[in-house]
Amino acid sequence: MIPLQPVPLRSAPTRGPLRRAAVTRASGAPRAGVRGAVLGTALVVGLAGCGGAKVGASDEGSAGPGSAGSCGTVNLAVNPWVGYEANAAVIATVAKTRLGCTVVKKDLKEEVAWQGFGTGEVDAVVENWAHDDLKQKYIVEEKTAVDMGPTGGTGVIGWWVPPWMKAQYPDITDYRNLNKYADLFKTSESGGKGQLLDGDPSFVTNDEALVKNLGLNYKVVYAGSEAALITAFRKAEADKTPLLGYFYSPQWFMSEVPLVKVDLPPNTPGCDADAEKVACDYPVYKLDKIVSKKFADSGSPAAKLVQKFTWSNEDQNIVAKYIAEDKMSADDAAAKWVAANPAKVEAWLG
């Protein structure tokens, strides 16, 4: 079942436009609305005769553009980070306005979203960070999911410090100097060593092994959530307190506080094969899109759209900034970007 969205029932093509029309009409009668709120509160219900726009008395005839009807419904998983939401919102907007699809967004964690490929409830995941284990299970073993190629974005994972530290301790971005600064990073949680703040439990980390294998005098402390990591970095920059933490890009927070990455020994193919012995940086991830086998085979124009969708980290950051900092709704943010980048959108549809 789908919350808050117009449901595709018997007369699917007209549903979306009709809803918009009705809503417009409602906000077009502000005085009636406010009066209703006030009087309704007092439960004076003899108002039945009082006027106002009637529900359903809207312009039936004007079907929206692109109501081709060949697209049907797209179940789009929305994983819980803003960058993902930007991808999903843009794809959803284009699918709706250009292909006439009905898009159902489902807020899900990655693991549950992939599970949805198997149960047929999720059609597409539109920003996937590696997840080799999930790929193994759902693409290779169960064959319920299909790789739809890169989003064009690249994911960088690593250790970061707030910009003020880079300014004050220029050599801190070399891991070999980290032991020199370990004392700076001591906290109540790190047991006398420097603290390396790890974070989001959704991400696989090698950090304990890294600390050990690089001979660093640090202790990994698990912040436990993205919110905790961002709060920590935000505060560290604002108060000019030291912080070394696990983070990743693209991430909307980077445009608020451009964190500086610490250089670990460069990643070479196979250097991180053995999780116990790893002593090199994280690889740069090619973010990609995964769809369900069923969706891929359906011939839906939306599947083609998902396949062709690519953009850059910069593009995503713009939409993410609209959402996170300008507090726009995802749909509005996407619409704004789509309007500003017609060429890129046309390329996906071509």
Residue closer to another protein, measured from CB, 19 or 176 = 19
User: From the list 8, 72, 184, 208, which residue makes contact with another protein (rule: CB under 8 A)?
Assistant: 208
Task: Using the structure block, give the residue that is written with the tokens 């117009």.
Answer: 6
Binding mask 217-256 for another protein (x = CB under 8 A): ---xxxxxxxxxxxxx-xx---x------------x----
Restricting to residues 160-189, name those near another protein by CB under 8 A: 187-189
User: From the list 275, 284, 340, 347, which residue makes contact with another protein (rule: CB under 8 A)?
Assistant: 275
Q: How far is the CB of 78 from another protein (least distance, A)?
A: 9
Restricting to residues 276-335, name those near another protein by CB under 8 A: 323-325, 327
- According to the binding rule CB under 8 A, does residue 118 interact with another protein? yes
- According to the binding rule CB under 8 A, does residue 258 interact with another protein? no
- According to the binding rule CB under 8 A, does residue 273 interact with another protein? no
Question: How many whole angstroms separate alpha carbon 187 and alpha carbon 200?
Answer: 19
Q: Contact, 83 vs 252, CB < 8 A?
A: yes
Q: Contact, 190 vs 221, CB < 8 A?
A: yes
- According to the binding rule CB under 8 A, does residue 29 interact with another protein? yes
**Residue 209's closest CA among 281, 283, 282, 277?**
277
Question: How many whole angstroms separate alpha carbon 255 and alpha carbon 327?
Answer: 14
- According to the binding rule CB under 8 A, does residue 25 interact with another protein? yes
Q: How far is the CB of 104 from another protein (least distance, A)?
A: 10
User: From the list 8, 21, 63, 298, which residue makes contact with another protein (rule: CB under 8 A)?
Assistant: 21
Residue closer to another protein, measured from CB, 2 or 284 = 2
State the DSSP code for 240: T
User: From the list 89, 95, 99, 122, which residue makes contact with another protein (rule: CB under 8 A)?
Assistant: 122
Q: How far is the CB of 278 from another protein (least distance, A)?
A: 11
DSSP secondary structure, 260-286, as one string: EEEBPSPP-TTTTSSTTT--SPPPPEE
Give the count of residues interacting with another protein (CB under 8 A).
Answer: 97
Q: Contact, 185 vs 195, CB < 8 A?
A: yes
Restricting to residues 64-103, name those near another protein by CB under 8 A: 80-82, 85
Q: How far is the CB of 52 from another protein (least distance, A)?
A: 4
Question: How many whole angstroms separate alpha carbon 95 and alpha carbon 123?
Answer: 13
- Cα angle 245, 251, 256 (rounded to 5 degrees) comes to 85
Question: How many whole angstroms separate alpha carbon 13 and alpha carbon 128?
Answer: 31
| Token digits of residue 269 | 């193919």
Length of the chain (residues): 350
User: From the list 71, 74, 124, 134, which residue makes contact with another protein (rule: CB under 8 A)?
Assistant: 134
Q: How far is the CB of 220 from another protein (least distance, A)?
A: 8
Question: How many whole angstroms separate alpha carbon 204 and alpha carbon 207?
Answer: 9
